[in-house]
Structure 1
C-alpha cells in the first residue's frame, strides 16, 4: 500500500525538498509544495495540483497496482482538505495524543495539547494550511467563529464546505461531509474528543457556508442522505 512516506522518498530521490524531517509520513506544507513543484516540472495534467493520483504516482515510479492510502491519492471530486481530514478519523485527543499533536503542528503552527485546549480550529487550520498553502487563513484560526470570515460564502451544501456553528460558551468549526433534513454531517476535530463525523443541527449554523478562495468553486450540491451518527449539541 502506497504511503505518504513512499511518495516523500520518491520525491527526495528526484531532488525535491519535503522538509527538514524527511520521509516522516506526514503530509505537511513542504511535502505539498514538493508535490506541486514536481507536477509543474513534469507538466503533469492533474486537475488539482498538490493531490496525488495515478498520474503522479506513475511519474514518481510508484506501482500503479499498489492502492494508495485514503487521502494520499484522492478522487478528483474530493477536495484535498477533505481527503486529508478523512485520514485522521478516529484520532482521539488522549488515546492518540502524540500522533495527533505531531500532526497538528505539521503545518508549522499549533494551539497546543488537544487534551487540554479546544482544538477544532487547530484541526481546520491544519487541513487547510497543509493542502492549500496559498490560502489566507482567518485571524486567530483557533477561535472557531473567526472562520465565518474565511474564504468566500457559497449558497449550496457542498462536500468540504467550511461550517461555523454556535454553541454554548463559544463556537465550533468543521467541514461538511453530507447532510439530511435538519442536520449537517460534520467532519471535524474535538467532536467527542476525537476526529469523527457527527450530526449538527442546521439551525446552529452561524453565517453562510464558506469555501476557499484558492480552490475552484463547487457546482453541484450534495444530495440528502441519512446516516447513523450521534447528534452533537455542544462540542465543548
Structure 2
C-alpha cells in the first residue's frame, strides 16, 4: 500500500472521502484532507503532514489508533505533485501522425486555448506535463497563463535560492527552454524528472549551467530538506527536450 492509498483509505474510514479509491493523490484527496483538518481543528492545508497523519491513524472518530503497522506510516519526502509525476515514468509520445492519448488528455483537461492549440504530441510538452501534475494535486495554485512555455515557469510560485526535492526547475536551451522537477544532483548536473525528455517522462541529467530558475508552489507547504547528492552513474545526460 502506498502512502496515498493509505491516506485515501483513512479519509474514507473517517467519512471524508467520496472519490474513487484509486490511490491517486488528486483533488478528491486534497478536499477530503481539508475537511478532515477543519473537523480536527488542525491548520487547513490539504496536505497530509505529520499532525494530520497522526489524526488519521485513529479508528473512525475515536482516540484509538488503527494498528501498530499504521503507526509506521509517515509522510513521504517527495511532495504530492512529484508523486503524481512518478506515476507516468516511461510514458512516451508516439512518433508520426498518431499521438499518445494520455498526453493529449492533459491538454484537453487544461481546456481553453491549450486544448485547441495542442493538436498532437509532437508539440513540446514539458510545460504541459508540469501543468498537469501541479493542477491535479494543488487545485488552488495559480498557474502560468502560458504553461506550455517552459520559461514561463520562471515566474511560478516563489523563488528558491537552492533546490530541494520536488522543486520546479527551468533551463535554457537553444531555441527555447525546459522545465522539470528536481530529484537531486551530482557535481555537474541536476537530475530532473520531467516530460518530453527524449520524448518521454524520465529522469535525466541536465547541465547546471543551463539552469534559469528554481521555484516552489505557494500552496505546496514549506520546502523541506536541502540539496540531494546523487551519483552520475546510470543516469543519462539529456540530449533532446523538444
Pairwise same-fold verdict (TM > 0.5): yes
Work out which of the residue numbers 87, 98, 101 in structure 2 matches 1:98.
101
Q: Which residue of 1 aligns with 2:209?
A: 203
Q: How far 1:188 moved relative to its partner?
A: 0.7
Q: Could you tell me how far apart the structure 2 residues matched to 1:129 and 1:209 are?
A: 18
Q: Which residue of 1 aligns with 2:63?
A: none
Larger Rg: 2
5+ residue gaps, structure 2, are 61-65
Q: Could you tell me how far apart the structure 1 residues matched to 2:6 and 2:226 are?
A: 35
Q: Does 1:127 align with 2:133?
A: yes
TM-score for the superposition, normalised by structure 2? 0.73
Q: How far 1:152 moved relative to its partner?
A: 1.6
Structure 1 residues 222 and 113, CA, compared in 2 at 3 Å: closer, same or farther? farther
Q: How far 1:158 moved relative to its partner?
A: 1.4
Q: How far 1:212 moved relative to its partner?
A: 1.7
> In the alignment, is the contact (CA less than 8 A) between 2:199 and 2:240 conserved in 1?
no
5+ residue gaps, structure 1, are 67-72
- Deviation per CA, 1:27-68: give whole Å up to 9, x if none: 43344223322333244689x6334885476358798858xx
Q: Which residue of 1 aligns with 2:143?
A: 137
Structure 1 residues 130 and 201, CA, compared in 2 at 3 Å: closer, same or farther? same
| Structural mapping, 1:159-198, within 5 Å | 159-198=165-204
SS of the aligned residue for 1:198 comes to strand
**Structure showing the higher helix proportion among its residues:** 2
Q: Could you tell me how far apart the structure 1 residues matched to 2:59 and 2:134 are?
A: 25
RMSD over equivalenced CA pairs, Å: 3.8
Q: How far 1:8 moved relative to its partner?
A: 5.7
User: When the two structures are aligned, how many residues end up with a matched partner?
Assistant: 226
| Structural mapping, 1:9-88, within 5 Å | 14=15, 16-18=17-19, 22-23=20-21, 26-43=24-41, 49-51=46-48, 55=54, 58=57, 65=69, 74-75=75-76, 77-88=77-88
